[in-house]
Structure 1
C-alpha cells in the first residue's frame, strides 16, 4: 500500500491488544481462537484491522530496507489493512463468515486492496465464496491491482469458487492486472485444465491476447512447471488446440508457443505443437529459432528433456545449426552429450576439429569420455555408410520424418536410428 492510501486510521492498530492476540492465534494456527476473536471481540463488524506496517520513518531505530540504503526508496511502504470478514474468508472459516454477514458486514469492503471474495478465491474456499456471493458480493470487484476474483482462482482447489463466480455473473473475458491477463490466461499459466474447460464453456475467447501479446496457449507453454504439473499442462494445451487455438501466435517478442515450450525443454509440448502444424523454423525478434531456444537451455534442463526436444524439432523439419556455429553449440551443450549427438547426426558430414576440445571442460570430458572419444575419433574419418543412408532417407522425407519413418517395414531399432535416437557414441 502506498503512502497516499495509508491515511486511513485503523480501528485496531498494530500495537492494539486485539491485534497482538489475533496475530498470536494466527501464528499458532489456532483456528478456533481466530474465529472467536473475530466473531466476539471485534466490536464493529466492518472494523479496519492493521496486521502489518513497515513504515520505518515512524521508528528511527528500525533497520532500514535495502532499497533505502541503496538510495532507491520510492516513497512507498507496505501496510496491511484488513477486515474481520477478509480474515475469515482467507482462512476458510465458513461459520465465522456466515456470522459476520448476518451482522451486516459489507462483503465488498477492501481497505487492504482485496475484498473478502478475493481472499476466499485465493485460498480456494468455495463455501465462503458462495456465502459472500449469496450476500451480494460483487463477482467482478477489482482489487487495488486491478484483479477480479476470477483472476485469483489460481489453484485446483479454487475450481468451485470459479464455478460460483460464473453462476453469479462474473465476466469470463475481463482482462486484469498489469499483465492484462484474462481468467483463461491465469488458468493457462497455472496449468489448470478444468478451469480452462469451464471458461471456454462460458464463452472465453481461446485466442484473447494479454498485455504481452500472449494467447493462453503461449502462456501455458511459457510457464515454469514442477514435474508433477506437466501432464495437467499437456492436457490443457491439447484442450486449447481442440477448441481452435492458433498454434503459432506471436507475442510481443515474436516468440511462438513452440519457442516457449523449447525454452522450457518440454518435448511433450513441443511434439504436440509440431503435430498441430507449428512452424519449427520460426524466428523471434532476436533471430532465435525454437531449436536455438532448446540448445540454450540444454545444460540446465533435465537430462532426457533437452535431447528429446531437439530430436522432435529435427524430425519435424527444423533447420539445423549453421555448420560454422557448431563449436558454439558444443561449448553451450558440452554437459549434455545426447543433445550434441542428436544434432551432430542431423548432418551427413561435419568436419570435426581437434581444436573443439577447448570448448569442453576437462571434468565434463572425463564424465562423458566414451561419447567424446567417439566424437573426436571422427576428426579424420568419414561417417559410416549407414549414417549416410540415414541422412538420405531423412532428406527425402523432410519435415515428415516423424510421420513416414514409423511406416517403413523396418525393425523398431532401425526406425529409432532414422529418427536420431541417441546411442551414446558416434560411428
Structure 2
C-alpha cells in the first residue's frame, strides 16, 4: 500500500488556441498575458493587448500536474494502490480568468476591447466564474455588457446555481434583476436556486428567491423539495432553523416525500438535527411515516447515531419518543446496541421507553469490550437488570407516558411537579438505569 501524499505543487503549462486562420502568438507574450490576467496587472495587460495585439478572446489550454491516487486492486480490508503524477488540463479565456480572480479593472479593459461576455471555452463562462467566487462587481460589469444570466455551463448549471456562499448574494440580486429564471432547474439534478440556497443554508438567498416568485415545493429529479434538501444537509444552528421556518411560512409541505418516500423529518432525524425535527413535529410532520424500505424517522435516527455522535443524537431519539414514535421491536434491541453502544445516552433513552424489556446474553455480546470499559457504570447498571423487574418509579413513569401517548412532549412540561421529575418523565438520560 502506498503512503498518502499531499498535493503536488502545480506546474502550469500554457498553450494558446486561436481560430485556425490565425497564427499562434509567440509563447513569451502569451505567458505574460496569462500572468497579467491572474494577478490583475492592468498596465502589463494594456501593453500586451495594445502593443502585442493579444486576442481578448484567446483560449488558453492550462495544464497542471497533480498527484492522484491510483487503485491497483481491491483488497479484503481496503484499497491498495499508489500515488501517480497525472496531467490534467482545462480551457479558459481572459474574461474567465479575470472574473474568477475578481479583477474588475482588467475585466472592464477586456470588454472595452471586444471580449465576448459569454465566451465559455471551458466548463464555465465568465459570469459563472464571477458568481461562484462571489465577485459582485465583476458580475455587474458582465451583465451590463450583455452576458446571458441564464447561460448554461458544461454541467448544465446557470449562474444562479453557483451562488453558493453568503458573499454571492449581490450576484444573485443582479442576476434576477437582469432576467435570470428563478425556478430554472439544473440539467443533471433538477436543482432550482432555492434548492441550492437550502443545501448551503443561505437564508438571505432563499428569502430573495421567494420574493421573486420561487416555487417553495419545486422538486428536483429525485423528488426532493428545498425543505428536504435543507433538513438532509444543513448544519445544526439558528440559521438552519430560521431557514426552515421561512420555507414553511411560505407554504412548504412538511410531509412532502421524495422518490424514496422520505420526508423532511426522515432527513432531519437521519442527520441528528434535533432542532429541525422538533420544529417539523410541532408543524404536524408524521412521526411514524415510513419510507419505501419501511424505515421510520426513529429508525433513521438510530441508524445514523455512530456517524453523528458530536450532534448528541440521543436528543433526536428522545424527541421522537416523546412525540409518539413507535418503538423498535424488543427482539431487535441487540441490533441497536451493536450500532449505538458508543453513545450510551441513546441506549438509555430507548431502553427507558419500554415498561419492561427482557435482557439477553446477546445484548452483552453486542457491546464491544472497549466501549464497555469506557462506559462501564452505565452498562453494569443495564446488564445488572437481567432477570429483574424494573423499579416502581420507572413503572410509574411508563404508566404515565402510556396514558399521555403522543402528547407527552406537550403535557408533561405543564405538570405541577418538580423540574427533575418532568425531565425523568421525558426520558432525560441519567447515566444509569434502575
Q: Same fold (TM over 0.5)?
A: yes
- Residue in 2 that maps onto 1:3: none
- Residue in 1 that maps onto 2:299: 292
How far, CA to CA, are the matches of 2:26 and 2:322 in structure 1?
66
Whether contact under 8 Å (2:266, 2:297) holds in the other structure is yes
Whether contact under 8 Å (1:14, 1:53) holds in the other structure is no
Whether contact under 8 Å (2:216, 2:226) holds in the other structure is yes
How far, CA to CA, are the matches of 2:25 and 2:202 in structure 1?
38
Give the alignment's TM-score, normalised by structure 1.
0.88
Whether contact under 8 Å (1:19, 1:50) holds in the other structure is no
Whether contact under 8 Å (2:272, 2:311) holds in the other structure is no
SS in 1 for 2:309: coil
- Residue in 1 that maps onto 2:195: 185
- Residue in 2 that maps onto 1:106: 116
- Residue in 2 that maps onto 1:316: 323
Whether contact under 8 Å (2:17, 2:61) holds in the other structure is yes
How far, CA to CA, are the matches of 2:173 and 2:224 in structure 1?
25
- Residue in 2 that maps onto 1:195: 205
Spell out the pairing of 1:323-362 with structure 2 (5 A cutoff): 323-362=330-369
Q: 2:107 aligns with which of 86, 97, 100?
A: 97
Q: Report the alpha carbon displacement of residue 79 of structure 1 after superposing the two structures with TM.
A: 3.6
How far, CA to CA, are the matches of 2:309 and 2:72 in structure 1?
40
- Residue in 1 that maps onto 2:385: 378
SS in 1 for 2:244: helix
Q: 2:244 aligns with which of 232, 237, 250?
A: 237
More helix by proportion, 1 or 2?
A: 1
Spell out the pairing of 1:27-46 with structure 2 (5 A cutoff): 31-33=39-41, 35-36=42-43, 38-42=45-49, 43-46=54-57
Q: 2:152 aligns with which of 142, 158, 163?
A: 142
**1:51 and 2:58 equivalent?**
no
How far, CA to CA, are the matches of 1:24 and 1:47 in structure 2?
14
Q: Deviations over 1:224-272 (max 9, x none)?
A: 64x6xx3322211111011110001111111111111111111111111
Q: Report the alpha carbon displacement of residue 53 of structure 1 after superposing the two structures with TM.
A: 6.8
Spell out the pairing of 1:117-128 with structure 2 (5 A cutoff): 117-128=127-138
Whether contact under 8 Å (2:230, 2:240) holds in the other structure is yes
**1:160 and 2:167 equivalent?**
no
Q: 1:390 aligns with which of 382, 387, 397?
A: 397
Gap change, CA 1:32 and 1:97, over 3 Å in 2: closer
Gap change, CA 1:205 and 1:303, over 3 Å in 2: same
Gap change, CA 1:382 and 1:362, over 3 Å in 2: same
Q: Report the alpha carbon displacement of residue 117 of structure 1 after superposing the two structures with TM.
A: 0.6
How far, CA to CA, are the matches of 1:392 and 1:154 in structure 2?
50
Whether contact under 8 Å (2:183, 2:214) holds in the other structure is yes
Q: Report the alpha carbon displacement of residue 380 of structure 1 after superposing the two structures with TM.
A: 2.3
More strand by proportion, 1 or 2?
A: 2
Q: Report the alpha carbon displacement of residue 17 of structure 1 after superposing the two structures with TM.
A: 3.3
- Residue in 1 that maps onto 2:80: none
Q: Report the alpha carbon displacement of residue 13 of structure 1 after superposing the two structures with TM.
A: 8.6
Pick which of 348-357 and 193-202 moved more: 348-357
Whether contact under 8 Å (1:39, 1:96) holds in the other structure is no
- Residue in 1 that maps onto 2:83: none
Gap change, CA 1:321 and 1:99, over 3 Å in 2: same
- Residue in 2 that maps onto 1:206: 216
Gap change, CA 1:240 and 1:84, over 3 Å in 2: same
Q: Flag structure 1 segments of 5+ consecutive residues without an equivalent.
A: 1-7, 55-61, 71-76
Give the alignment's TM-score, normalised by structure 2.
0.86
How far, CA to CA, are the matches of 1:66 and 1:22 in structure 2?
35
- Residue in 2 that maps onto 1:129: 139
Pick which of 79-88 and 190-199 moved more: 79-88
How far, CA to CA, are the matches of 1:413 and 1:13 in structure 2?
81
Q: Flag structure 2 segments of 5+ consecutive residues without an equivalent.
A: 1-14, 75-86
Whether contact under 8 Å (2:33, 2:48) holds in the other structure is no
Note the aligned Cα RMSD (angstroms): 2.6
Q: Deviations over 1:290-325 (max 9, x none)?
A: 111111111231345210010111111110111110
